[in-house]
């Protein structure tokens, strides 16, 4: 007798990511009931075991776990493209926009980021922001799996308005406490909400942006809550300069001193980490998030992910911010991660396609502490998955013998537009390229309107004259 389930997806090129490889089955599928995968295996076996209300023939498609974007600043999608090709991207590109960002514009940016990310196959998003009213609700509405982090720093906008490169940040502990209180409120109201689909981490923005005592307090609060610390670590020479002037120590050494280096830490970037510092962080059990596109564009640096992994550390992928990375697309991040490191090491065998695909799926889930529920297609896990149309010119021909070409082509040739369907917790967020939980036209129209309003405010502020790209505009290069 066949068991009745909600959905069967059959006849796909199945990539489960179970085990040490990609877990390929040439004619595989999944059985889904509620928000869970109840079975994964050959299509013939699933067909004999189950009947379903919805049977999907995925012939010519790849079926794989949803992609995990572990670090994103979604609100800044509203200012996409204002801060690349320059030195000091934050001060000379982003700052005038940050000074005028209204809540409506920030939330429009979040919606646009999620629309883009989901259409390119992301099912889990680790978003990092000052928590605005309405921000978590967007993730609840759109159905994406969210790992939300409230930014915690002790920097007031008023004090930072007079800050100049090379000066120490002016800490305001009252602001720091307000940020801590906001993070606690977000955690209290949203952690494990939406059936566990939304979780909340604690986010000290950087070791250079919060006084030592408040850093220790945040660590204690996160430990008590049983959640990770999502933190920028050694993210640039500016941070290292701040740390040396304030504490006489570089960031990794300082974090070890105050008890931050352990498996509770999700360390983003490690852009300026030396080899010894990379080893120190990896050996501590901390996890790393690598944002290849962002750091490549805004800093011209390849972060030490290869060494981190060689020392036993786990590395997840993130898209960071669209002001200077210009996209929230995990296919882009996979390709750039592989290419940048091959070029850096002058070795074509470094970070092969299957490794970066695992970084975007199961290893990303492991880094977030979520591998028991997502990251691979296995019975009992959440039904977070994507279907990719392989009948596209850039993914053809499809060869299985003597060498299988699908995985390299997904990493090096796909651009995200080939994603046909996206499912989170058994619910389609996109099906047959049609968004199910978002009005794409309305999202883009609202973002365009809010972006123009923001740009108008920036243009009226003399601060905009510090934008480094104005010179290129005046020369007709933009």
- For 276-294, the pLDDT digits (tens) are 999 999 999 999 999 999 9
What percent of the chain has pLDDT above 90? 94
- For 338-361, the pLDDT digits (tens) are 999 999 999 999 999 999 999 999
Is it the case that residue 162 has pLDDT exceeding 80?
Answer: no
- For 90-99, the pLDDT digits (tens) are 889 999 999 9
pLDDT value of residue 466: 86
pLDDT band at 186 (very low <50, low <70, confident <90, very high): very high
pLDDT value of residue 84: 95
- For 445-454, the pLDDT digits (tens) are 999 999 999 9
Is it the case that residue 46 has pLDDT exceeding 90?
Answer: yes
pLDDT band at 471 (very low <50, low <70, confident <90, very high): very high
pLDDT band at 38 (very low <50, low <70, confident <90, very high): very high
What percent of the chain has pLDDT above 70? 99
What dihedral do alpha carbons 111, 114, 116, 119 form, nearest 10°?
-130
pLDDT band at 128 (very low <50, low <70, confident <90, very high): very high
pLDDT value of residue 165: 76
* Cβ 351 vs Cβ 338: under 8 Å: yes
Is it the case that residue 130 has pLDDT exceeding 80?
Answer: yes
* Cβ 113 vs Cβ 447: under 8 Å: no
Ramachandran region, residue 476 (left: φ > 0; alpha: ψ -120 to 50; beta: rest) = left
Q: Which domains does the chain have, with CATH numbers?
A: 3-65+377-435 (2.30.40.10), 67-367 (3.20.20.140)
Rounded Cα distance, 300 and 376, in Å: 33
* Cβ 113 vs Cβ 430: under 8 Å: no
Ramachandran region, residue 149 (left: φ > 0; alpha: ψ -120 to 50; beta: rest) = beta
Is it the case that residue 464 has pLDDT exceeding 90?
Answer: no
| Arithmetic mean of pLDDT over the chain | 96
Q: Which position has the higher pLDDT, 166 or 446? A: 446
pLDDT band at 161 (very low <50, low <70, confident <90, very high): low
Q: Which of 476, 468, 70 is nearest to 288 (CA)?
A: 70
For the four alpha carbons of 327, 346, 400 and 354, in that order, the dihedral sign comes to negative
Phi, psi of 413 (to 5 degrees): -115, -30
């Amino acid at each position: 007798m066949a068991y009745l389930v909600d959905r069967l997806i059959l006849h796909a090129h199945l990539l489960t990511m179970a085990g040490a490889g990609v877990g390929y089955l040439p004619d595989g599928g999944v059985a889904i009931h509620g928000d869970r995968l109840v079975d994964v295996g050959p299509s013939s076996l699933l067909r004999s075991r189950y009947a379903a209300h919805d049977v999907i023939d995925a012939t010519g498609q790849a079926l794989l776990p949803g992609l995990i974007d572990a670090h994103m600043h979604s609100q800044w999608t509203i200012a996409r493209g204002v801060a690349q090709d320059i030195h000091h991207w934050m001060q000379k590109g982003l700052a005038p926009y940050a000074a005028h960002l209204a809540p409506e514009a920030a939330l429009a940016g979040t919606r646009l980021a999620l629309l883009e990310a989901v259409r390119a196959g992301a099912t889990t998003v680790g978003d990092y922001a000052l928590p605005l009213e309405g921000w978590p609700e967007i993730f609840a509405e759109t159905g994406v799996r969210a790992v939300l982090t409230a930014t915690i720093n002790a920097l007031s906008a008023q004090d930072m308005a007079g800050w100049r490169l090379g000066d120490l940040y002016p800490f305001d502990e009252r602001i720091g406490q307000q940020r801590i209180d906001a993070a606690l409120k977000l955690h209290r109201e949203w952690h494990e909400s939406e059936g566990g689909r939304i979780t909340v981490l604690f986010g000290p923005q950087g070791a250079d942006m919060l006084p030592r005592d408040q850093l220790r307090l945040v660590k204690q609060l996160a430990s008590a809550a049983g959640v990770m610390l999502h933190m920028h670590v050694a993210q640039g020479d500016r941070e290292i300069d701040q740390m040396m002037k304030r504490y006489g120590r570089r960031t990794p050494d300082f974090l070890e001193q105050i008890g931050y280096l352990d498996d509770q830490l999700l360390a983003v970037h490690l852009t300026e980490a030396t080899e010894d510092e990379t080893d120190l962080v990896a050996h501590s059990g901390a996890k790393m998030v690598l944002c290849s596109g962002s750091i490549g564009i805004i800093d011209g640096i390849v972060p030490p992910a290869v060494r981190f992994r060689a020392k036993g550390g786990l590395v997840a992928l993130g898209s960071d911010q669209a002001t200077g990375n210009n996209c929230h697309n995990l296919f882009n991040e996979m390709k750039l991660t592989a290419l940048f490191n091959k070029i850096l090491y002058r070795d074509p065998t470094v970070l092969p396609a299957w490794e970066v695909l695992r970084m975007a799926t199961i290893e990303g889930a492991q880094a977030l502490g979520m591998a028991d529920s997502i990251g691979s297609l296995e019975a009992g896990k959440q039904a977070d998955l994507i279907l990719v149309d392989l009948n596209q010119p850039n993914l053809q021909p499809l060869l299985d013998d003597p060498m299988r070409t699908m995985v390299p082509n997904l990493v090096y040739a796909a651009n995200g537009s080939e994603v046909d369907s996206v499912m989170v917790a058994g619910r389609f967020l996109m099906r047959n390229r049609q968004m199910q939980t978002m009005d794409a036209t309305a999202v883009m129209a609202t973002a365009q309107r809010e972006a123009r309003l923001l740009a108008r405010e920036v243009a009226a502020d003399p601060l905009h004259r510090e934008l480094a790209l104005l010179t290129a505009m005046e020369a007709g290069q933009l």
